[in-house]
Copies of this chain bind each other. A is one copy, B any other.
Amino acid sequence: MPNQADRYEALRLRLIDAAERTISESGLAALKARDLARAAGCSVGTIYNVFEHLDELILCVGSRTLAMLDGALAGVQSPSRRRSAVAAVDDLVRLALAYLEFAAAHIVRWRALFEHRMSEARPLPEWYVQQQQHALFAQVERPLLMLLPELDTDARRILARTLFSAVHGVVALGLEEKLVSLPLSDLRNQLAATVRAIAAGRAELRSIDGVGGRTDRQRR
């Protein structure tokens, strides 16, 4: 016979499952506490015994989306033995294209990742920030280490974030029907060419310092 902790955990999972269904099918705006309570078989008040606030529940779904994305990106890099700059550029292109495929295949829940803002200016919990950093930026750092070995760790970390952001921008506005969307095959070409151009012009990225840094250009 399940004890109270088991029942609590089971209810918690039912609520996350219900929220995940809504967010992945209809998006964040469709999420209503009343519907969640009905789907999980509890009262609306009980939701707030299990989760501090709806934001926490939304982050649990976001965490699942990030884990899916992390998995989708993890498989695309070349084996670690090939340590050439050519292999690194190919890896960056593959990561960018895998990100595009993920976003296109899971567009509603992927959008929710970026649309969600904590209410009442609550800070994001540290576990979520860590997972987000890992899923979005960490995999970009390995090819960058091959391409720009002279960058220090901080500078590489920030550059990984910047490259991810540029790719994200091309993917997000490319899939956005509001801006007259491109066919997916065109979008793939644009994305791959942009990443290859950044990699080919990478000497310009060497001038980036780490946190709080100035560029070489300014120092001269």
Contacts and interface: CB of A to CB of B under 8 A. Distances in A.
**How many chain copies?**
2
Interface in A201-220: 201-205, 207-209, 211-215
Task: From A202, A204, A212, name the one whose CB has the most chain B CB atoms within 10 angstroms.
Answer: A204
B170 A189 contact: no
A182 interface: yes
Nearest to A179: B132
A161 B69 CA distance: 26
Contacts of A88: none
A189 B202 CA distance: 14
Contacts of A133: 180
Interface residues of A, number: 57
A200 interface: yes
A165 interface: yes
Interface in A126-181: 129, 132-133, 136, 158-159, 161-170, 172-174, 176, 178-180
Contacts of A116: 178
SS of A interface (majority): helix
Nearest to A167: B169
Contact of A173 (B161, B170, B190): B161
Contacts of A213: 186, 189
Contacts of A117: 178
A110 B207 CA distance: 30
Given A197-B205, A201-B202, 8 more contacts: A133-B180, A136-B179, A163-B194, A185-B214, A193-B208, A196-B204, A198-B201, A200-B200
17 contacts: A115-B115, A116-B178, A117-B178, A133-B180, A136-B179, A161-B179, A162-B190, A162-B194, A165-B172, A166-B170, A167-B169, A168-B169, A169-B169, A169-B170, A193-B204, A197-B202, A198-B198
| In the complex, the 4 A-B pairs of residues with the closest C-beta atoms, listed nearest first | A169-B169, A200-B201, A201-B201, A197-B201
